Structure 1
Amino acid sequence: MSNLKTLIEQMTLEEKAGLCSGDNFWRTKVVERLGIPAINLSDGPHGLRAQGEEQDHLGVNDSKPATCFPTAAGLASSWSVERLEQLGAALGDEAQTEGLHVVLGPGANIKRSPLCGRNFEYFSEDPMLSSHLAAAHIRGTQSRGVGSSLKHFAANNQEHRRMSVDARIDERTLREIYLASFEHAVKEARPWTVMCAYNRLNGEYCSEHSRLLTDILRDEWGFEGFVVSDWGAVNERVPGLEAGMELEMPASGGERDAQIVAAVKEGRLEEAVLDRAVERLLRITFRAHDARKDSAEFDAEAHHQLARHIARDSMVLLQNDGTLPLSNEHRVAVIGEFAERPRYQGGGSSHVNATRVETLLEALRSRDASLDYTKGFEIDRDAPDQQLEQDAATAASHADVAVLCLGLPERHESEGYDRTHLNLPANQLALIEAVARVQPNTVVVLANGSPIAMPWVGQVSAILEGYLGGQAVGAALADLLYGEVSPSGKLAETFPQRLEDTPAHLNFPGEGDVVRYGEGIFVGYRHYDTLGTEPLFPFGHGLSYSRFDYANLTLSASDFDGQGSLTISCDITNSGEREASEIVQLYLSDQTQTVPVATQALRGFDRVALAPGETARVELRLTRRDFCWYDAQRGDWRLPTGTFEVRIGASSRDIRLSQTLDVQGDDVALPVIDRNTLLGDLQRREDATRVLRQHLADIADELPMLNDLMAREGGDDLMNAMGHYLPLRALVSFSGFTEARLENLLKDLKALA
């Protein structure tokens, strides 16, 4: 620390300001005379995008070959902390080979609406799952001496007008959903950098949001790295620097460096603020160079096989009537251009130049599968083609099974714009009709980055959600279709029946530059479960070629006071005939009715691999925070008193075990005491009720609505309800209570706080 301060003292004002912006698209500036090196950054949530001289941000120009892993939408469906760490480590190894110091990713934004064009790059609709997987990704990358840049902080939940839109989110929702998706990853994995989002949050651009970047990120969560802007996200540079945004990317041609210099010289910016930013930048810069491995290399084939294993752990068997798995004895009609031109990654800035791509057709032919291939539809157009459909139907009618390779073309979902509907292209819908009409054993294999509507779900026998499965997607699909391994992925997001059922439907994408998060905390399954709306496929859903029994739920205690932790244990048995993995999900249902809450919330998970007949004892832990809600009025997490139900399930809609638990929560806090405080709110505290009785005893007969408060037997329900919602000031209006007495009452109540 002292060495950095000494170094900063030797820098000119211009040199310090210059370090706060890039030298070009992907590199920071050097200060040669002081031995300050540059650091190189690269996109990389699911594969590196290191470019040569022709640099850009949106993937227009080719990058150097790198392993393309499945995107976050698929990765999250593995629910595997181990796999995410392995992927992160592989990215770190490749980054060391390319001389990169920071990898931009992972993206931990919440999937608020399935229409968001960048959902393929985000993990989940649930903040607990998202933040734990993001933490694993970061740990893996940084274990190789390469920094991660957790993004996009915060509330970047749509692409529509993303560089100007103002996300209006109430404080409780912000804390419990949108910030919680980042919080654990920051606290536990300690990313070297955090990338601020393009959008505004409650009126302030994230790039100059001091409460977000300093009060919460640094002071509350303990972040010690530097904040980098999303590329082009800077609104006003000097306020951004003051707010805690240290590095502007890409280069600004010196324009904003000059703004910083001028602000210091004119006394509008304290030089100490600039020095603090430079110190944060230098700390990471020197850490990155100290960890540099000049002779680093990676095994491209080993990484390809890792991509294959991760992909097959991430794919979700949504539906199966027994048609899957296939065998080489089946004559299979493989239909759909995605079988030979796979969509294996998302579009935009995360576009990876894969070292090689393994298609489904290649993988099936390499295993000597009995198949015929027909194109079925053209990826590059949406209009139906009757000849292609007829050829596909003919092939399907002569086969034992038809495998339809369908999905969303890249032009339907990408960074930069949102989707407008949930449908497959018209030519694919027509193809399903034509094939299912002649072949009862029809399997649909999907390639998409976010949920789609499936009005045809009842016409097909099996559906395998492949998401965007990376460069080994073909081999992974073949492994699952032919039962080399059992499917084990489970949805990290809800698939709705229709767009109108989605939580944000009435508030997405907003009006002009304002989007109101009117659904509040009821995002994803919280919405569907609380309203009782039936999804197409629920959060946490995924089928297997085996089956699992759940038994012997035990809690380490029958009550909980918020101290320490609570251990939840149960037995999981593979009662099938195949080795398989199960994802055990722990949900907590707050039944205290203290505040409006979702019916249940995910609070833990574990992925367990079991041989046929094997039983494993799964242990999960709950801590105080898992039971809490965020009290915006007091700016703190509150533990309610009452009954909770612990639920263990195979999905959010498939709860296998449950047990109730008594919680002794925090003392009930008094509301803010003033003339408009309601009598009913004060009755939640015994001491406040005592004070009220003392002051109001002589006027009880004048106000029948005080019956409940005075603890009389019986009483009129209407009167009691009116008394509950009576503000203190109304005592003067409806009785002989005077203003002077009211002031004395307020004084005594305030003394209780």
Structure 2
Amino acid sequence: MTSYNKINGEHVSQSKTILQEILRKEFKYDGTIMSDWFGVYSTKESLEAGLNLEMPGPTRFRQAVQVIHAVQSNEVSEEVIDENVRYVLQLVSESLKAEIPNDVVESPNDDPAASELLRKLGNESIVLLKNESGILPLSKTSVKGQKNIAVIGPNVKVAQDSGGGSASMTTRYKITPWEGIQAKLKEGNDTVGLEYALGAFLDSTLPDVGEVLLNEEDEKGIVARFYKYPPDHKGDRILMETLNLSTSRVLLSDYSSDKLDPNNPLYYVDFTGTFIPDETAEYNFGTSCVGTAQIFVDDVLVVDNKTKQTKGDAYFLGMGTREERGSAYLEKGVPYKVRVEFGTAPTYTLESGLEDAGGLYFGIQIKSTPEAEISKAVKLAKEVDKVILIVGLSKECESEGFDRPNMDIPGYTSDLIEEVVKVNPNVIVVNQSGSPVSMPWAKKVPGLIQAWFGGSELGNSLADVLFGDYNPSGKLSMTFPKRLQDNPSYLNFGSTNGQVWYGEDVYVGYRYYEKVEVEPLFSFGYGLSYTTFELHGLEISNNGDSINLKIKLTNTGAIYGAEVIQIYIKQENPIIPRPKKELKDFGKISLEAGESGSIEFSISIKEATSYWNGLKHKWQSDKGIYKVLVGTSSDDIKLQGKFVTPRTFNWIGV
């Protein structure tokens, strides 16, 4: 897939240099090349560059009349068309081998082995960043004075399983941190008290309620009924389909029914579910859409985004309405019937430019102030032994089509953490994000976990680590800086008149922080364990093409665990400016308490030593002495060795 941007002034989707010289010839790629969505800017140039497929359909630059005219006027040769068609047909041919029927219905994988694998992946991805005074793991029973735990934060009862936009997938189920922790404590021999507080708001819009509403089987979810005609239709509305959904953020671009005219995306959907409040209070209801929508609570209209609509920019690539809100006073524990009546994009009263059915988002949240929620959380924190603060980002904060304006967690989350730590020092912060966030409170909390967006089993995986049923072994895949200004791209980020300068060059991530000696908050490759390891006995051999390494290590702690060994290479006295060291390989080894073992690596010398020579347009490996640095993070090197290359040479390809 080609990117949207230009490289050296030319769009990638029409660059012969990128698509032919590099992708086809150097990389030997023999598959289909397609554009990113709406990432084509020409007919002739993109065809001749070998962009085989324009996405999405219907095409904008390759309509029959355009291509036929280009061929008949000798602007584009038939051979160019044939070559592009061959790659598309090749894709079709390979896809047919999957033997997926045309009318297949998407279905979930309910094999228990799938859930087990997701939980294992979640466990292994979690990174333990701080564990002062052994505050972790927590106990499932009332020991060490731990009798009750408060779980506080906007991500406690929300399953932040993934980023937004194209990072999202439909899931069969999601386990929230609250559910995972509840289930874990039930495994204990006696009961540890568990309390909850929201603490802070996260998103600027109301949160997804797919995990909050109950469907008609009293299970988590929303019932969606698709009709051909609107609710006020005098006759039969013609029910087309009934679906159970796990989200209240719905896009309908690919919905189809044999009861609909394929050229007319006009239809109606009623979304229903039962809402049972956690506390007696006034609650906000809200929706934004491309189409029209109204929200009813026990058949009373609460939100009207139908008769009067205002443009917004929160969703739908800036084409939808602003979030319209209304409120209702609800009592704790009482079930309320929520119904959202939605009409698709043709009912929209504003300009959208969409040719499909559009979509809507709707949510529910207690009506309160940040100060009031922090106050409730602080009151609870005073009354418990341990506090787990589950915070971070969400699909709204990390999605496609925009960049985060800063590294801060939105809203009053940092204030919440600061105030809770003042009244209870036994705090574990769990951060969920796909990228670094500012942590001005990091030194004040004894326990800190980076949990990322953990997929369907995120709640269970997190509970496994918090309570010690899994010993964390994850490592940071990126550097966490102390502040936004420390980032390598800080001075270059963004475009000026459509031009972006990648001024950081090869000094990205840890390479930059080490070169300019800026101390990060947490270094690349960093991650703690509930046990300890000792590395020793580095052995290096060089056969001319590769270096072979063998490292011995011992689990010097009291429990089973795993360590990730990282191999960095550093050239001594380089003839050009180079990073202080570069990661070239890594591997994981698991050991019982007291057990010793070894791990081996074989690393290509040309790949380990080479850099791009822009003058020769080739990779270059310089003769000389190279250090092998073995560590458990980029700033924690345990062992060192050397190898020598006898000659300088150039190469191309992969």
Query: Structure 2 length as normaliser, TM-score?
Result: 0.69
Equivalent of 2:137 in 325, 328, 338: 325
Pairing partner for 1:495 from 480, 490, 499: 480
Among 434, 438, 444, the alignment partner of 1:449 is 434
Aligned 1:422-501 pairs, distance under 5 A: 422-501=407-486
Aligned partner letter, 1:353? T
Residue-by-residue CA offset, 1:711-750 (whole Å, 9 max, x unaligned): xxxxxxxxxxxxxxxxxxxxxxxxxxxxxxxxxxxxxxxx
Equivalent residue letter for 1:589: K
Take 2:201 and 2:609, find their aligned partners in 1: how far apart are those partners?
Answer: 51
Work out whether 1:356 is the aligned partner of 2:173. yes
Instruction: Work out which of the residue numbers 296, 299, 309 in structure 1 matches 2:120.
Output: 309
Aligned partner of 1:620 in structure 2 is 601
Q: Are the equivalent residues in 1 in contact too, given 2:109–2:172 (CA < 8 A)?
A: no
Given that 1:641 and 1:666 are in contact with CA atoms closer than 8 Å, whether structure 2 keeps it comes out as yes
Question: In the aligned structure 1, how far is the partner of 2:421 from the partner of 2:17?
Answer: 55
Structure 1 position 428, deviation (Å)? 0.7
* Residue of structure 2 in register with 1:710 after alignment: none
Instruction: State yes or no: 1:261 paired with 2:68.
Output: yes
Q: Does 1:635 find its partner at 2:639?
A: no
For structure 2, the 5+ residue unaligned runs are 187-191, 206-367
The equivalent residue for 1:342 is: 159
Identify the residue that residue 597 of structure 1 maps to in structure 2: 578
Shift of 1:352: 1.9
Closer/same/farther in 2, CA of residues 255 and 415 from structure 1, 3 Å limit:
closer
Q: Count matched residues.
A: 471
Structure 1 position 231, deviation (Å): 0.7
Question: 1:602 deviation in Å?
Answer: 0.4
- The percentage of aligned residue pairs carrying the same residue is 34
Equivalent position of 1:580 in the other structure: 561
Distance 1:206 1:254 in 2: 17
Hey, what's the Cα distance between the residues in 2 that align with 1:426 and 1:622? 46
Contact 1:625 1:637 in 2 (8 A): no
Equivalent in the alignment of 1:177: none
1:607 aligns with 2:430: no
| CA displacement at 1:446 relative to structure 2 | 0.9
Contact 2:620 2:649 in 1 (8 A): no
Q: Does the CA-based 8 Å contact 1:592-1:640 persist in structure 2?
A: no
Q: Is the 8 A contact 2:43 2:61 kept in 1?
A: no
**Superimposed CA distance per residue, residues 332-366 of structure 1 (whole angstroms, 9 cap, x where no aligned partner):** 11111311123221111232222111111111222
Contact kept, 8 Å, 1:300 with 1:355, in 2: the verdict is no
Per the alignment, residue 716 of structure 1 pairs with none
What amino acid does structure 1 have at the position aligned with 2:450?
A: E
Structure 2 Cα separation of the partners of residues 301 and 431 of structure 1: 38
The match for 1:687 is none
Q: Deviations over 1:229-264 (max 9, x none)?
A: 001000102211111210111113575233222221
Offset at residue 581 of structure 1 (A): 1.5
SS class of match (1:405): strand
TM-fit CA distance, 1:436: 0.1
Between Structure 1 and Structure 2, the one with more helix by share is: 1
Q: Is 1:660 matched with 2:466? A: no
Instruction: Assess if the C-alpha contact under 8 Å between 2:202 and 2:411 holds in 1.
Output: no
Distance 2:14 2:369 in 1: 49
Separation in 2 of the partners of 1:215 and 1:614?
Answer: 51
Q: Give the secondary structure class of the aligned counterpart of 2:150.
A: strand
Distance in 1 (CA, whole Å) between partners of 2:87 and 2:54 is 14
Structure 2 CA distance for aligned equivalents of residues 405 and 423 of structure 1: 15
1:205 and 2:186 correspond: no
Inter-partner Cα distance in structure 2 for 1:237 and 1:310: 44
- 1:379 alignment counterpart: 202
- Cα distance in 2 for partners of 1:249, 1:366 equals 45
1:219: which partner in 2? 25
Of 41, 49, 57, the residue aligned with 1:243 is 49
How far apart in 2 are the matches of 1:455 and 1:293?
51
Q: Partners of 1:591 and 1:260 in 2: how far apart?
A: 56
Shift of 1:300: 4.7
Q: Which moves more between the two structures, 245-254 or 380-389?
A: 380-389
Q: Structure 1: how far apart are the matches of 2:429 and 2:545? A: 47
Q: Kindly tell me: are residues 565 and 502 of structure 1, through their superposed partners in 2, closer, same or farther at Cα, counting changes over 3 Å?
A: same
CA–CA distance in 1 between the matches of 2:571 and 2:369?
Answer: 50
Cα distance in structure 1, aligned partners of 2:597 and 2:80: 54
Give the CA RMSD over aligned residues: 2.0
CA-to-aligned-CA distance 1:557-591 (integer Å, 9 cap, x gap): 3xx7xx42110111122221221111110000112
CA distance in 2, matches of 1:666, 1:255: 47
2:74 partner amino acid:
G
CA distance in 1, matches of 2:369, 2:514: 37
User: Does the 8 Å contact 1:344/1:447 carry over to 2?
Assistant: no
Q: CA deviation at 1:455?
A: 1.0
- Number of the residue aligned with 1:533: 518
Q: Structure 1 or 2: larger strand share?
A: 2
Q: 1:230 aligns with which of 36, 40, 54?
A: 36
8 Å contact from structure 1 (residues 311, 473) kept in 2: yes
For 1:438 and 1:350, the matched residues in 2 are separated by 38
1:694: which partner in 2? none
Q: Work out whether residues 309 and 476 of structure 1, in 8 Å CA contact, stay in contact via their aligned partners in 2.
A: yes
Does structure 1 retain, via aligned residues, the 8 Å contact 2:584–2:608?
yes
Q: Which residue of the partner structure matches residue 2 of structure 2? A: 196
Change (3 A) 1:638 1:437: same
Separation in structure 2 between the aligned mates of residue 225 and residue 388 of structure 1, nearest angstrom: 54
Q: Is the 8 A contact 1:384 1:428 kept in 2?
A: no
Look up the match of 1:645: 627
Question: Which segment drifts farther, 315-324 or 605-614?
Answer: 605-614
C-alpha spacing 1:514/1:253, structure 2 compared with 1 (3 Å): closer
Change beyond 3 A, Cα 1:536–1:569: same
Q: Which residue of 2 aligns with 1:57?
A: none
Inter-partner Cα distance in structure 1 for 2:167 and 2:2: 17
CA contact (8 A) 2:203 2:397 kept: no
For 1:662, give the aligned amino acid: V
Deviations 1:395-433 (A, max 9, x none): 212222110011124332221110111112241111111
Give 1:333's aligned amino acid.
A
2:226 corresponds in structure 1 to none
- SS across alignment from 1:196: coil
Counterpart pick for 2:380 among 395, 400, 405? 395
Separation (CA, whole Å) in 1 of partners of 2:410 and 2:622: 48
Q: Is the 8 A contact 2:621 2:650 kept in 1?
A: no
Q: Residue by residue, what CA displacement relative to the aligned partner does 1:530-553 show, whole Å, maximum 9, x if unpaired?
A: 111100000000011111111110
Task: Report the alpha carbon displacement of residue 391 of structure 1 after superposing the two structures with TM.
Answer: 1.8
- Give the conservation status (yes or no) of the 8 Å contact 1:574–1:614: yes
Q: Structure 2: how far apart are the matches of 1:643 and 1:366?
A: 55
Which runs of no fewer than 5 residues in structure 1 stay unpaired?
Answer: 1-194, 670-753
Partner secondary structure for residue 372 of structure 1: strand
Cross-structure match for 1:415: 400
Q: Is 2:181–2:463's contact at 8 Å kept on the other side of the alignment?
A: yes
Paired residue type of 1:606: G
1:644, 1:661 within 8 Å by CA — same for their partners in 2? Answer: yes
CA distance in 1, matches of 2:405, 2:70: 44
- Cα distance in structure 2, aligned partners of 1:359 and 1:298: 19
1:303 Cα deviation from its structure 2 partner: 2.2
Distance in 1 (alpha carbons) for counterparts of 2:91 and 2:626: 44
